[in-house]
Structure 1
Amino acid sequence: MVNQFIKQATINLTGLILTPFLLAIGFIGLSKEWGVGWIWLPLTGLLSLVAMFGLDTVKELLQPTSKPRIKKIVKWVVISFALAAASLQLGKLIGVEEANANPIGALLTKDTLGGLKILATTWISLIGEELFTAAVFFPVLYFLAKKMSQKSALWLAIIISSLFFGALHLPTYQWNWFQCLVVIGLARFPFTLSWLDTNSLRGGIYVHILYDYVIFVPIFIMGLFGFSL
């Protein structure tokens, strides 16, 4: 996917200029819950990619994943959890503040119907987070690949887009910079690497959704039995 993108993609500078504004609108729309809040991330993320690279390129980026799909997806989910656990332990060793809980956890246990609504719609926002990250990753990769080796450009694009992804979570986790930039940012790496492994953005979408629902579904079930966070 990366080789083909670097060789064939062209960027629309007007779309590049519009992208920060589109992403800002998407983030604010989600945060302020404008109308249907969960639609803002996927909508503005997709519009950003199309504005920069065109519909045909975006269709290629979103092509079906390569086989073996399930094995690849599960592999990257496991690696992501391992990186998150390792970075949390690192935080304890260096004495940074404790990790804050995701507020969605408390909402899942608050009432059954509310929890079901969250489980039924969160996956849409997660698709948006992948498209948001892609809207940073691909223009960074596009320009860096013209200045350095493809491997160096790729890893720098992964790092920069992962930091961006982590920074998006700062308000959610009470501005805990280590948790967002290091723990969440590092756990983000396998999501992006799964794009490359599956030859499609869909790979990262599936990994991201499975990762979060492995966390959210048990919390919801605990709520059904009277446990709360």
Structure 2
Amino acid sequence: METSRTSSERDLPFYDGVPVDIKGTGWLLIVTSVLIAFLALILIPLRSFPYNLLPTALFVGIPLLALRVSAGQYWICLFHALNGRSLGIMLLFGLATLMGSISVGWVLQQFSEAHANPVANEIALVSTTEIGEAFFVTSVQLVGEELLGILPFLAALWLCVRHLGMSRRLGILIALIVSGLSFGAAHLPTYNWLWAQSLIGIGSARIRLGPRL
């Protein structure tokens, strides 16, 4: 069922039935698709380029397909056209997130063990061509990582607002926590199952990248 807002202010899509009302089964499909896509990314054996694009393409394509099935033509509402202002905001958020992650990482190192991302070590051992190939694959994977963060967020926000009767502000706060914890948990294998580094360090970075209250 298609609905519309009375306010012209741009808002998050889907959580309140706008621009289309996604039912509970649709959200279940979307969240399940995110899990399946993540399993495909980490379980399919990696091969040389371009065959290593397969798990990355599934990581992006499976959730988008589920969103297309659940939201119909309105799946595209998850994306907006880029302009100079949005690019500037992206740059500022990226720098703020980087500085915040460095700060959180430093604090965590004072109290617990930390583990470096293995990709950083691998880059020093490959050729320029291989770096270019890895950059392309990583660029695609970053889209999947955004879906890994935003789709569970929207599902949690929908549950809080539409079914638990919470305010939009409180729903966003809870959804940010859910999204941050799930995003951090997904990085546990990358960081040698160090829960503090993954759930607090990576999870807090996801929260900073999420929508504002």
- 2:31–2:155 contact (8 Å) kept in structure 1: no
Give matches, 1:66-145, under 5 Å: 68-93=85-110, 95-97=111-113, 99-112=114-127, 113-145=129-161
- 2:161–2:167 contact (8 Å) kept in structure 1: yes
Q: State yes or no: 1:17 paired with 2:1.
A: no
Structure 1 residues without counterparts, runs of 5 or longer:
198-229
Match for 1:30 among 37, 41, 47? Answer: 41
Give matches, 1:115-194, under 5 Å: 115-146=131-162, 147-193=165-211
Q: Deviations over 1:144-164 (max 9, x none)?
A: 113211111011111111111
Partner of 1:47: 65
TM-aligned CA distance change 1:90 to 1:41, over 3 Å:
same
Q: Deviations over 1:45-80 (max 9, x none)?
A: 21232344x133321221214651222111101110
Task: Give the C-alpha shift of residue 4 in structure 1.
Answer: 5.5
Q: Deviations over 1:176-211 (max 9, x none)?
A: 111111111111123223xx69xxxxxxxxxxxxxx
TM-aligned CA distance change 1:110 to 1:85, over 3 Å:
same
Q: Deviations over 1:113-145 (max 9, x none)?
A: 332221121010110111122221111111211
- Comparing 177-186 with 66-75, greater Cα deviation is found at 66-75
TM-score normalised to the size of structure 1?
0.75
How many residue pairs are counted as aligned between the two chains?
A: 192
- 2:117–2:191 contact (8 Å) kept in structure 1: yes
Q: Deviations over 1:79-131 (max 9, x none)?
A: 101221221232134x111x211111122122213322211210101101111
TM-aligned CA distance change 1:63 to 1:55, over 3 Å:
farther
- Higher relative contact order (Cα pairs below 8 Å, separated by 6+ residues): 1
SS of residue in 2 equivalent to 1:145:
helix
Distance 2:204 2:76 in 1: 28
TM-score normalised to the size of structure 2?
0.80
Distance 1:4 1:21 in 2: 19
Structure 2 residues without counterparts, runs of 5 or longer:
1-9, 46-50
TM-aligned CA distance change 1:101 to 1:80, over 3 Å:
same
